[in-house]
Structure 1
Amino acid sequence: MKQRLGLAIVLFCLAPTIFAQQKAKQNAREDNASFMFTESQLNDDDDAAQSVQALVSSNNDVYLSNVGYLFSPMRFRVRGYDSQYNDMYINGVQFNDVETGRFSYGLIGGLNDATRNKEGISPFETNNFTFGAIGGSTNIDLRASQYSAGSKLSLSGCNRSYILRGMYTYSTGLMKNGWAFTGSAGYRWANEGNIEGTFYNAFSYFLAAEKVFNDKHSLSIATWGAPTERGQQGASTEEAYYLANSHYYNPNWGYQNGKKRNARVVNSFEPSAVATWDFKIKEDMKLVTSAGFKYSSYGTSALGWNGNASDPRPDYYKKLPSSIFNVYNDVPTPEQLEQFNEVTDLWKHNKAYRQLDWDLMYFSNQQANALDKETLYYVEERHNDQLAFNFNSVFNHTINDHSSYTAGIAVNTTKGMHFKKMKDLLGGVLYTDIDKFSVRDYGENSSIIQNDLDHPNRRIGEGDKFGYNYNIFVNKQSAWLRYQGKSGSFNYFASGKIGSTQMFREGLMRNGRAPLKSLGSSGTAKFLEGGVKAGLTYFLNGNHSFTLNAGYEDRAPLAYNSFVAPRIKNDFVNDLKTERVYGGDFTYNFNTPVVMGRITGYYTRFQNQVELEAFYNDNESRFTYLSMNGIKKEHWGVEAAATFRLTSNLSLTAIGTWSEAEYMNNPVATRTYESESESNPDRVYAKGMRANGTPLSAYSLSLDYNIKGWFFNLSGNYYDRIYLDFSAYRRLESVLTRDNDGSVDANGNLVGVTVPSQEKLKGGFMLDASIGKYIRLRNGKSISLNLSVNNVLNNTNMRTGGYEQNRDDTYDDGSMRTYMFSKNSKYYYAPAINAFMNIGYRF
């Protein structure tokens, strides 16, 4: 694997205080934490990227201010929560995607300097911008007056998803005429990243202006964007990794005319803007009103194939040696053994064999052209575009030194535009917009095969939309109120929230598999939301305190999960309800001259959750939707962190968490196919399955030393209890009882059938280190240098997660039995040794 390290220039904004060394270390760590979240993790598949959590949280919290940076290589999620439970605000306006609930970190990619001013809060922490999410909230301040006056230039080099980055930021500060302006521009690039076949090409910009009219009024406007094109890495099976002799084998690329080409390319651009009016009514009253706008263009390319064309993916299970015979149980024939050895040898010694064969796909299409037949291979681009408007207004009133309250309202309206278009016909000429699976089942003359009944047999060219085209509209309104006070040794708060959500689907194609349900409006689903929170803190003395928090919330289901088969029809999930979330935590905080930190125990229960899976069903050779609702989950555990001040220059930080996050029931399910209109009721035996893709146990021990502007850090991190994403399809009642004598008793329990267990991945250790220097120059100028190295010991065997493929343990492909299913799970691995170097100049 190539290891490339570039030299760079970066600048950290540091206040000239007696703690300059410590501040330099903090900013350097934050800069790299932002890098890890916005670039490194986004280079993986969409599912992997969804595990991103908030960049930082409260700086006064030893645990939350460290775990995001320390544990990011393993995609750590605080308390195992999905990122939909973490809210991101910009100037007080929430910018989470209302369809998925998640914040897209690509929205602010490469804008590390512009987004440095931020406030993070834990789930029950009081604040001045939100009711608060169960996973915490972060507010980024983009007001131009909040940036230090001057210029900041940086160039960065690393061997991660990109290898070079340049950024320049300039701010006037608040001038005498009441104006302030700030601008930032950056570029990130890699012809090939740390994973072979990937690349990175991204520009970013930020512009902000603010006018302070007087002591009472100011108006701020900011706009930003980060147009990005990047090639993705794909997960693969352990068999493929073994044959390729690398845990960083990437099946997404291949050679075309001798050059590398990636089939999975993301093109994203989300130009956004926010306007903020600050109104200081009185010394003790303030109103902050913001309006935000976002237009998101997000497309992901993927290979497609037609007719009798074979699956072009190099690691498709039928192309692996294991598909030839079952090495555990079968006695191979001489022919099978010869074929097994031949395929194994090709995989191990012929690099082109284990990659995509673009030249063969072009040749196949040319042959089809000559016979006036349909294009066999093509590249499609799947779009999830979005137009969103957000409004937020918050009123703060400090009644006296002992009490205050905050009230807020928020409105969101979003139009999600979902379609796919033909990106590249790969030299082909003829492509007709019909469903290939339906042709197999119903024949070429059936109306069922048409993707667009109003334009049957439409010929598709490059750039044309085809397959599916629909919009999802979501409107949300909410209001909240929080009161907080002090009385003797107690601090307390109580808050409430009420809101509503409306959603509907608008089909733009009349699909042949659902001619009466695909075109037009689905009708509107409406949900009433609300919640309450309360907390009490008892101060034993100035150094020790205890905090008890509790809360309950009703949340509307996400639009992303609310439709049974959104690409083809308008049907909502059966018995769709608001999700219920309740829980709390208990914390002991300590802050003495020698040690500071906290110990927290927490419990959270989720009810009425909905999940949707969409996948190609190898067993049944058709695209499948699997919707689960009525899901119950529990998350509970312990978090602990402490920083010990060993000397004035040396400190030791210990962090640990042990958590549990599991399904508590066997939810009902609906299985729907794109090749037929009916839906099939079922049940998924998911009880006992754990949250996946994040360590449920993580521990860290870090040494920090600073002297005369130098700072050093050494961190050892251990991760354990990481679980593979389980296949709901494999655990369907109909699948488990289909080919055996199993049955279900009156209580819904399986008899005579064992539910497949969830794979637990091995734990492991990583060592990280960093060194830096902050140099103060004359006239307020400064230089800072930082080198950080992650995974110093080059542990290349650390799995960060993965997923089971949606196939049975064994099934007959017509000639032989395949490997057991567990051998066909796909995995992600943590990055090998990697470094990031900065040299910065502020002037």
Structure 2
Amino acid sequence: MKQRLGLAIVLFCLIPALFAQQKVKQNAREDNASFMFTESQLNEDDDAAQSTSALVTSNNDVYLSNVGYLFSPMRFRVRGYDSQYNDMYINGIQFNDVETGRFSYGLIGGLNDATRNKEGISPFEVNNFTYGSIGGATNINLRASQYAAGSKLTLSGCNRNYILRGMYTYSTGLMKNGWAFTGSVGYRWANEGNIEGTFYNAFSYFLSAEKVFNSQHSISLSTWGAPTERGQQGASTEEAYYLANSHYYNPNWGYQNGKKRNARVVRSFEPSVVASWNFNIKDDMKLVTSAGFKYTSYGTSALGWNGNAADPRPDYYKKLPSSVFNVYNSVPTGEQLQQFNDLTDNWKNNKSTRQLDWDMMYFANEQANALDKETLYYVEERHNDQLAFNFSSVFNHTINDHNSYVAGIAVNSTKGMHFKKMKDLLGGQQYTDVDKFSVRDYGFNSSVIQNDLDNPDRRIGEGDKFGYNYNIFVNKQSAWLRYQGNSGSFNYFAAGKIGSTQMFRDGLMRNGRAPLKSLGSSGTAKFLEGGVKAGLTWILNGNHSFTVNAGYEDRAPLAYNSFIAPRIKNDFVKDLKTERIYSGDLTYNFNTPVVMGRITGYYTRFKNQVEMEAFYNDSEARFTYLSMNGIEKEHWGVEAAATFRLTSNLSLTAIGTWSEAKYMNNPVATRTYESESESNEDRVYAKGMRVNGTPLSAYSLAIDYNLKGWFLNLTGNYYHRVYLDFSSYRRLESVLKSDNEGAVDANGNIIGMSVPSQEKLDGGFMLDASIGKYIRLKNGKSISLNLSMNNILNNTDLRTGGYEQNRGDNKQNGELREYMFSKNSKYYYAPAFNAFLNIGYRF
């Protein structure tokens, strides 16, 4: 055992150095062309429940302990909340990215066995590690003494984003000398995943050491990371899917010298460490103090092109048959009809037509080299790197059997580093760091075109930073207190918190479009945060209870949304305020010998939200920033779940939710073009639009059977009311009025022209099943076998979401305009039939 332990310690000490050169960060949508999924949406692991919501680890709740895994193929979000409202803690330290608010599951990717010790809480649930967010929270316990002694080897095979996975975990348990060690390694791989043109290559490591000095004091240290490189899938239009004869067509790849190459590659690495001190002051008093550090490197590659080079994307709308003529209401000429038929035939029968043409791009650059001209095509890598430090201390005091309280403080300091660098010039020799859109508008002699005025006309080589380079600094401090008690048939709690957030941008390039506002500090924006909440549970008897909760919170805006055009200048969003959140729910809980579950009604109101979009504007051929401020949203609905114990071996579980989540006003907007220095005030007509990318209605019926170590599950899920991510640009007041058909009344509502409706996607049914066996061996050893199968009926028509492109003909009215909008939308589909075989051996 000592030899194995020594080898594990040496290995884990070397791992961070071996992978120090790899890169990563949590993903956020940068533009419509680069719409991507975060690790939390990939549904890549057999326990994908953790990838959907922080709530899914709530062990005592039939609804929350099931919906995350059951509905994960449709990227279901509990109550429609954005994932920024789900808090993720590791050993008491919050690991959400403070810029985007979200937790990157790539941080712990491939460490399933190491991260199984977790506590999940619902939005108002009493706990001992956090004040809690409206979306709930999860705390992963990585203390070495909490792992069972022994080894576990896991081998997996599947047809998902990766096809093979291996994990090995070893733990000493708490030894007589007070030490405990746990280590884990994992590897996930696919030369090509379930989507053509994708690939997966990921290593993961974890090491935890803990020293228990006595009954009062223990110190633990944990470190982990998961360096990953993966090729991505891209969304496309229904026309492209039809012509490719597949809803899983991927436009992100093409052949280069006969080999597949993906243009959208993510490289990610987030080495992290947490140190914790547990101090049991008395039997009824405990202090847990932790400090954590995380370095995030996240790079996403993307194609770029210069000058008059043609758009290389195979599904660019001008390359599709529908671009030849309006098939909806016009009669084509003979020439147009022939061109339409030729394009259709090529798309359907010539695979190279619907993929990237790498050889063409290399050839074009060779021609440019021969003429001593600028590189036409290249691959850039957009980086969102980060350094983050966190500190937390939580004090628990049990006053008596009926009263207790918990108090905590937390501090976070984060530096976000945003830049792009040249990854591959594709054989080109010259690239000058100027803005191509500004060159078109102002000419080569204008200083406006310079991305870096202090280094004008700088030649860029592979590995050089260019385009933009800036840092975002965010500092947060908070303190909270919660009291809980019980009296007779009533349990109750009351809690409050106060905090502050400071943020500023530090520009590292003096941009020609904003020479006085791009370099140096933006100045600091400061926000005072706080919140209160309370809850009361009335226990009728041991089988029935009612719970009512209510809360209010002031929350600082996210740094990601707080700047008008962060790539080029320091300006904050005008009239930036703290977000206000009002929330409450009412629950009936039941637990009888035959059935257990709950029914909950909830309501949440958001005010003063801020959203920012960055995208290439096809209609105006310019890169555009669109910031919305003062957004109001309303979320409400019903959740219900029940498990019926039909026999000692057979149970039936029914789950359902119907929810509403929509915009309640038309927020103020600021539009900025990357080729201009000025910003334009506007308004987005978003009232009535729904939150996108999640089913607002979902229902499930499952049968579970177990006997003598065997278990069998059969589940049917139905999804409904999934809405497409609407284009804010298309609903700008200035865009809607551009044809002079519309006017605005005294209340700010458009008259004489309707606002485009939001597309609601068709619902659908999915059947899943799993079968497994647990085998006990001698001397405490065991084997676990599990085969899970999703979408057995192979429903390939279930759309999980997508987005409207910022292009369309607003001058068309009614049915024609709706057709034009939907034709330009891009969609994602739920995975086709897939299976996951997992074999675990514990020894």
What band does the TM-score fall into relative to the shorter chain? Answer: over 0.9
Measured in 2, the distance between the counterparts of 1:294 and 1:514 equals 33
State the distance in 1 between where 2:472 and 2:314 align: 35
Tell me if the contact between 1:810 and 1:820 (Cα under 8 Å) persists in the aligned partners. Answer: no
Alignment of 1:320-719 (within 5 A): 320-719=320-719
Shift of 1:530: 0.1
CA pair 43-698 structure 1, distance change in 2 beyond 3 A: closer
Q: Distance in 2 between matches of 1:615 and 1:669?
A: 15
Instruction: Please state whether the residue corresponding to 2:100 is helix, strand or coil.
Output: coil
Map of 1:311 onto structure 2: 311
Distance in 2 between residues matched to 1:40 and 1:667, nearest whole Å: 29
Q: CA deviation at 1:740?
A: 3.1
The aligned residue for residue 775 of structure 1 is 775
- Distance in 2 (CA, whole Å) between partners of 1:254 and 1:568 is 32
Task: State the one-letter code of the partner of 2:745.
Answer: D
Q: TM-score, normalised by structure 1?
A: 0.94
Shift of 1:679: 0.4
Contact 2:583 2:605 in 1 (8 A): yes
Q: Following the alignment from structure 1 to structure 2, what is the Cα–Cα distance between the partners of residues 259 and 39?
A: 27
| Conserved 8 A contact 2:154-2:168 | yes
Structure 1 position 330, deviation (Å): 1.1
Q: Gapped runs of 5+ residues in structure 2?
A: 1-36
Q: Closer, same or farther in 2 for the Cα pair 1:766/1:39, shift >3 Å? A: same
What is the alpha-carbon distance in structure 2 between the residues aligned to residue 141 and residue 105 of structure 1? 16
Partner residue of 1:129?
129
Distance 1:58 1:744 in 2: 49
* Partner in structure 2 of residue 155 of structure 1: 155
What residue number does 1:34 align with?
A: none
Provide the C-alpha distance between the structure 1 equivalents of 2:289 and 2:526, rounded to a whole number of angstroms: 27
Q: Which residue of 2 aligns with 1:225?
A: 225
Shift of 1:818: 12
Aligned mates of 1:561, 1:747 — CA distance in 2:
27
The separation in 1 between residues aligned to 2:149 and 2:55, in whole angstroms, is 25
What code does the residue aligned with 2:294 have? K
The aligned amino acid for 1:493 is F
Per-residue CA deviations over 1:535-571 (Å, capped at 9, x if unaligned) read: 0000000000000000000000000000000000000
- The CA distance in 2 between the partners of 1:431 and 1:655, in whole Å, is 57
Aligned CA RMSD, in angstroms, stands at 1.6
- Contact kept, 8 Å, 1:322 with 1:819, in 2: the verdict is no
Range with bigger deviation, 598-607 or 732-741: 732-741
Deviation at 1:58, TM superposition (A): 1.3
Partner of 1:85: 85
2 CA distance for matches of 1:740 and 1:106? 49
Structure 2 CA distance, aligned partners of 1:379 and 1:315? 18
Distance 1:819 1:255, change over 3 A: farther
Deviates more, 1:56-65 or 1:604-613: 56-65
Counterpart AA for 1:454: D
SS at match of 1:347: helix
Q: 1:698 to 1:808 in 2, by over 3 A?
A: same
Alpha-carbon distance in 1 for matches of 2:840, 2:606: 46
CA contact (8 A) 2:120 2:139 kept: yes
Q: What is the CA distance between 1:277 and its match in structure 2? A: 0.2
Question: Matched residues in 2 for 1:363 and 1:620: separation?
Answer: 29
Q: Note the C-alpha offset of 1:840.
A: 1.4
Matched AA of 1:458: R
The 8 Å contact of residues 52 and 69 in structure 2, kept in 1 or not, is answered as no
Letter in 2 for 1:243: L
Structure 1 spans left out of the alignment, 5+ residues: 1-36
Asked if 2 retains the 8 angstrom alpha-carbon contact of 1:498 and 1:529, the reply is yes
Equivalent residues of 1:74, 1:800 under 8 A apart: yes
CA distance in 1, matches of 2:62, 2:427: 57
Who is 2:7 aligned against? Answer: none
User: Which residue does 1:105 correspond to in 2?
Assistant: 105
Aligned length: 801
CA distance in structure 1 between the partners assigned to 2:327 and 2:599 by the alignment: 50
Q: Give, as a single letter, the amino acid of the residue that structure 1 aligns with 2:567.
A: R
Secondary structure of the structure 2 residue equivalent to 1:551:
strand
Within 1, Cα distance between the matches of 2:58 and 2:463? 47
Secondary structure of the corresponding residue to residue 765 of structure 2 = strand
1: distance between equivalents of 2:40 and 2:705?
27
Change (3 A) 1:63 1:55: closer
1:87-236 equivalence runs, <5 A: 87-236=87-236
Give the superposition deviation at 1:59.
Answer: 0.7
The Cα of 1:810 is off from its aligned counterpart by: 5.5
Pairwise CA distance, 1:227: 0.1
* Local SS of the residue matching 2:42: helix
CA separation in 1, counterparts of 2:375 and 2:38?
38
Paired residues of 1:395 and 1:408 also in contact (CA < 8 A):
yes
| 1:579/1:404 CA distance change after superposition, 3 Å | same
Distance 2:359 2:526 in 1: 51
CA contact (8 A) 1:62 1:642 kept: yes
Task: Tell me how far apart the structure 2 counterparts of residues 662 and 492 of structure 1 sit (CA, whole Å).
Answer: 32
Shift of 1:43: 8.2
Counterpart for residue 9 of structure 2: none
List structure 1 segments (4+ residues) > 2 angstroms apart after TM superposition: 37-44, 49-57, 808-812
Deviation at 1:40, TM superposition (A): 8.0
CA contact (8 A) 1:170 1:183 kept: yes
Partners of 2:237 and 2:367 in 1: CA distance = 32
Aligned mates of 2:783, 2:304 — CA distance in 1 = 51
TM-score normalised per structure 2: 0.94
Question: What secondary structure, in the 3-state scheme, does the structure 2 residue paired with 1:648 have?
Answer: coil
* Corresponding residue of 1:278: 278
Contact 1:685 1:732 in 2 (8 A): yes
Q: What is the percent sequence identity of the aligned residues?
A: 87
Give the residue type in structure 1 aligned to 2:685: Y
For 2:366, give the aligned amino acid: Q
For residue 328 of structure 1, report the CA deviation from its aligned partner.
1.1
Q: CA, structure 1 residues 731+51, in 2 after alignment: closer, same or farther (shift >3 Å)?
A: farther
User: Equivalents in 2 of 1:826, 1:582: separation in Å?
Assistant: 34
2:23 aligns with none
User: Do the aligned residues in 1 keep the contact of 2:50 with 2:56 (CA within 8 Å)?
Assistant: no
Q: SS of the counterpart of 2:434?
A: coil
Q: 1:531 to 1:819 in 2, by over 3 A?
A: closer
Call closer, same or farther: CA 1:326–1:818 in 2, change over 3 Å: farther
1:57–1:122: 8 Å Cα contact kept in structure 2? no
The Cα offsets for residues 60-110 of structure 1, whole Å up to 9 and x where unpaired, read as: 100000000000000000000000000000000000000000000000000
What SS does the aligned partner of 2:56 have?
A: coil
* Distance in 2 between residues matched to 1:119 and 1:521, nearest whole Å: 41
CA contact (8 A) 1:597 1:640 kept: yes
Q: Is the 8 A contact 1:323 1:818 kept in 2?
A: no
TM superposition shift of 1:725? 0.3
Per the alignment, residue 833 of structure 1 pairs with 833
1:745 positional shift: 1.3
The CA distance in 1 between the partners of 2:416 and 2:439, in whole Å, is 30
Question: d(CA) in 2 for partners of 1:676 and 1:637?
Answer: 44
The residue type equivalent to 1:672 in the other structure is T
d(CA) in 2 for partners of 1:303, 1:685:
33
Q: Distance in 2 between matches of 1:747 and 1:810?
A: 22
Q: How far does residue 117 in structure 1 lie from its aligned partner after superposition?
A: 0.2
Closer, same or farther: CA 777–50 of 1 in aligned 2, 3 Å: closer
> 2:133 & 2:156 partners in 1: Cα distance?
34
Amino acid at match of 1:230: R
CA contact (8 A) 2:642 2:653 kept: yes
